[in-house]
Amino acid sequence: MHFLFRTRAGGRLKIDEDALRRLLSFAQHAPDSPESGGLLLGRVLLNGPPEDVVVDEITTPLPGDRATRFTFDREDPGHQQAVNDAWEKSGGTCTALGHWHTHAEPDPTPSDVDEEGWRADLQRWKVTTGALLFIIVGTQEVRAWEGHPEDLSIEEVELIDRTRALRPRPFRAVSQASNP
């Protein structure tokens, strides 16, 4: 299974099968399940414009993170270490693309706290991939947004296919995003 979204610029955002399965495994189905979250790791395929983005991996909740039923704070330094390790292992092609978390609702929508945090990240992160990605996993749906650092806008990206994979295309490495 793959999810494929269309970005504002007309590019595609693909969530790879393994990453998607891991995301879905954290859906808050039980009444006492805490929110979960982590970072999105992957590649920008410089085949455009518009450019396509592939989420290959995610980080998952770590011992130093804080979570309640309705909040998740990514605080464990292991998330940044995972970014550094992925960058090194990939020869500079796998980087942090954004972050994800869960909501205890069927069709998730970002809270005011989510959007405030996303805008803070747009100002704090060195965004080298054009936009930061934000994914929320609900109990029945997965939704995605892209944030643009140039104007701090946040827009939902359209789900266009739940199964189609991106065809392989040549790509060039991008600079590492830092400070996630």
Tell me the backbone φ, ψ of residue 39, rounded to 5 degrees: -100, 155
Tens of pLDDT, residues 80-91? 999 999 999 999
pTM: 0.87
Written as one string, the DSSP assignment of 50-80 is SPEEEEEEE----TT-EE-SS-EE---THHH
Going from the N-terminus, what domains does the chain have, and what CATH number goes with each? 3-161 (3.40.140.10)
Euclidean distance between CA atoms 180 and 172, whole angstroms: 22
pLDDT of residue 176: 41
Tens of pLDDT, residues 16-51? 999 999 999 999 999 999 999 999 999 988 876 678
Q: Is the dihedral angle over the CA atoms 46, 49, 55, 61 positive or is it negative?
A: positive
Burial of 176 (0-12, 13-18, 19+ CB in 10 A): middle
Please give the angle made by the CA atoms of 76, 65 and 121, to the nearest 5 degrees. 75
Q: Is the peptide bond preceding residue 77 cis, with omega within 30 degrees of 0? A: no
Tens of pLDDT, residues 132-171? 999 999 999 999 999 999 999 999 999 998 764 434 433 3
Average pLDDT over residues 51-76: 95
